[in-house]
Amino acid sequence: MQTINTIDIQEVVTAHLLQLLDTMFSIKAVPLGKSVPEAEPERVSGSVGFGGEAVAGVVYIHLSARFAALLAAGMLGTDPQSLSEAEVNDVVGELANILSGGLKSWLCDASFSCAASTPVVIRGSSFAIESSPGVERLCLEFSSGVNRFWVEVHFKFQ
Amino acid sequence: MPTKILTVDDSRTIRLIVTRAFREYDCVICEGSNGEEGLAVAAKEKPDLIILDVTMPVMDGVTMLTKLKEDPELKATPVIMLTAESGQDNILQIARIGVRDYLVKPFKEDRLIEKVSRIVPLVKKAPAVSTP
């Protein structure tokens, strides 16, 4: 079983996110490196957990509510104002699902078998995600035009 | 007779994308949001093809596919599996349970059309004729 470190996870998550946004949303994003998510007036966060004998964790994607609505509108071919919160949440949940699927695939190919949860979407303001002791936390910032967003991975190798 | 396609995915977004992909074709799209719903819709609608997500609540895609194979009236229905995971183990598992093809998310709509058209006939809708 090979050793995996934070840099490996950063590379995998970054590459998969950029491909996902380009393929399904036709947008280009730029990785800005490690950075803790900033507070937003309203944030939408999608998350998917993964767990197995040797590894466990959670993948989050944090978007401003405004950017989430723009992404959803672009994907669904409609006007952002016409979308309900539920419709936007569904798009963010699927984003998290596909993003974590890429990480999970890479972990499984590296002999760290794990199963994934179904997506959870949190919407609100002034909330932060904290990890338990012994769990590593990787926060990555990205930009697309004027929009900034974050991917956060909490993980622990058992 | 339009081609009848059943899309089963817990994500409404994905079901919308699948529906939109076939908008130019003479197709009827049915939907299910989990494996249990998918089986009920399949039994009622007898689709020509099923596009099936793997990870879903209530009943996942692997279980739904297994139950499809046990149904004499549905076991011959071709299935394309949709998965967010491209890992070798996952792909091998999917291949072993007898799907016609698979598609890894994220995907472009034309890739979905290409895969479906290899299995069932896809006929483009006749252009609308405007009367003066």
- Tell me what ipTM this predicted complex has: 0.81
How many domains does chain B divide into? Answer: 1
Please write the tens of the pLDDT for every residue from A18-30.
999 999 888 999 9
| Position A7 confidence tier, pLDDT thresholds 50, 70, 90 | confident
Residue B15 lies in a domain: yes
How high is the pLDDT of residue A83? 94
Whole-number pLDDT of residue B87: 78
- pLDDT grade for B88, boundaries at 50, 70 and 90: confident
Domain CATH code at residue B23 = 3.40.50.2300
pLDDT at A2: 59
Check CB contact under 8 Å for A97 and B55: yes
Residue B70 has pLDDT above 60, yes or no: yes
Buried b / exposed e along B88-124 (16+ C-beta atoms within 10 A)? eebbeebeeeebbbbbbbbbeeeebeebbeeebebee
Domain-located, residue B123? no
- Judged by CB atoms closer than 8 Å, whether chains meet at B106 and A116 is answered as no
Name, in order, each residue with C-beta under 8 angstroms of A145's C-beta and a sequence gap of 6 or more. Answer: none
Give the separation between CA A61 and CA B35, rounded to whole angstroms. Answer: 27
In chain A, where the domains are located: 6-157
Confirm if B31 and B15 have CB atoms less than 8 A apart: yes
Mean pLDDT of chain B: 92
Report the C-alpha gap between B91 and B7 in whole angstroms. 20
For the stretch B23-35, pLDDT in tens is 999 999 999 999 9
**Distance between terminal CA atoms of chain A?**
13
Q: Alpha helix (H) ranges present in chain A?
A: 6-25, 65-76, 85-109
**Does residue B124 form part of some domain?**
no
> How confident is the model at residue B132, as a pLDDT?
64
pLDDT at A1 over 90: no
From chain A, pick out residues whose CB is under 8 angstroms from the CB of B86. 101-102, 105
- CATH architecture assigned to A6-157: 3-Layer(aba) Sandwich (3.40)
Query: Rounded to a whole number, what is the distance in Å from the CA of B90 to chain A's nearest CA?
Result: 8
Task: Provide the token pair at B59.
Answer: 């009943």
pLDDT band per the 50, 70, 90 thresholds, residue A46: very high
Give the pLDDT mean for B21-47.
97
